[in-house]
Amino acid sequence: MTDKLQRFSYWFVPFVFLFMGLCVTLSEPMSRNVIRVLYIIAAIKFFLNREEFFEILRNKKNFLFLMCGLIAYMIFSAMFFGQQFTGGENTIEWIFFSYNMLLFLPFIFFIRRFNVTEKIFITLGFGLLANDIFIAWQFTQGIERPITFLKGSFMQGTVIYVILLPTFLILSLQKFDDVRKKIFFSATFIASLIAFILLNTRGPWIDLAIILPLILIYEIRDRKKLLKIAGVTLIAAGIFLAIFPNTLERVKSIGQASSQQSVTERFLMWRSASNMIIEHPIFGVGLGNYDEEYQQHYIFDEAKEREQTHAHNVYLQFWAETGIFGLIFFCALFGYILFWSWRRSWCLFGKILFFATLALMLYGFTDYTISGYRAMRVYWFLFGICLAEIDWQEKLVDSE
């Protein structure tokens, strides 16, 4: 019976991880159910081998401390200042956000044991390519702001590309035993970059216009090669913009930001959030209360986009809604992830985690990305893969 169970686990567990890689960008309900299966598998593993589980907790105590601190403070803010656990969209989203954060535990348990990481990235690439085709189809139908299969707002889809484009660029620059993998990752990056541009969202364009060149500079030390890549990129961009004049007009509008209504609205929203912070600096207005407080007390009369529900800035939103302590916990967690991954950038997965996190944090200056738990599930999925692989590679280095 034990042998049969072991054979079944060696077939079933890799399948779950691969299926998660495919559906995490395609179906929010499906990926949520797969996560439940992963947690059940991890719980079974815990009961079978508690010593290994507690060793993982000891090795990752800093991450767990910061995550649990953030979750506990969100609960505190919801209970004493917010809309409790039954009301407020942000409160509900934070439950899902916290639920996804601990994904790294089943990953550390199983990924290296089954050696499926490259295959997971391939399934993740197929899911992204499906979204690329979907976006391109919407664009041909005259839809100016396409969405992904995860649905929600078009910004949810944008976050997916902000996280995964740095990832697939790094993968496309690596050497693999099988050249077909390099071709696949390179093709996925190019197709996804085109789809990302077709999303017509200027803030993320600026974000990745910083991050992607930084990756190339970090990865390619040959200046001549860098110049060739820059030249080819500029030529390709020129051809692309000539084919899609609407996108060209959107690019031109970046230089005319001060006259853009959407930019004016952002400044008004940031001023409203700042006023909320000034009046509630310590504990904020409470988790889940931002929308109501903004609409009733802080929206400016000249604001034309009067249905906005967040500050369009993750840092201002956190401070306004949960106070200075919520902002500190949030910045401490992601600051530590950046610091920890940068120190391990000698490793492929350290680079992936660092640049994906940096892109997400930069994007946070122009949008409230954390509210999109559908897209953030992609980040925590990637985080779990990278943490598990880095943990394994550090053990290999220590054993040598």
CA distances from 146 to 134, 200, 326 (A): 8, 8, 33
Distance CA 52, CA 56 (A): 6
- Write out pLDDT tens, residues 258-274: 556 667 788 888 898 89
CA distances from 161 to 34, 82, 201, 336 (A): 22, 32, 11, 23
Q: Given this model, what pLDDT does residue 107 score?
A: 84
DSSP state of 145: S
* Residue ranges in the chain whose pLDDT is less than 70: 1-9, 82-98, 112-114, 152-154, 222, 226, 230, 232, 234, 236-262, 306, 371-373, 398-400
Q: Given this model, what pLDDT does residue 88 score?
A: 47
Distance CA 359, CA 165 (A): 10
Q: Given this model, what pLDDT does residue 249 score?
A: 59
The pTM (predicted TM-score) of the whole model is: 0.89
Distance CA 160, CA 157 (A): 5
Distance CA 103, CA 393 (A): 19
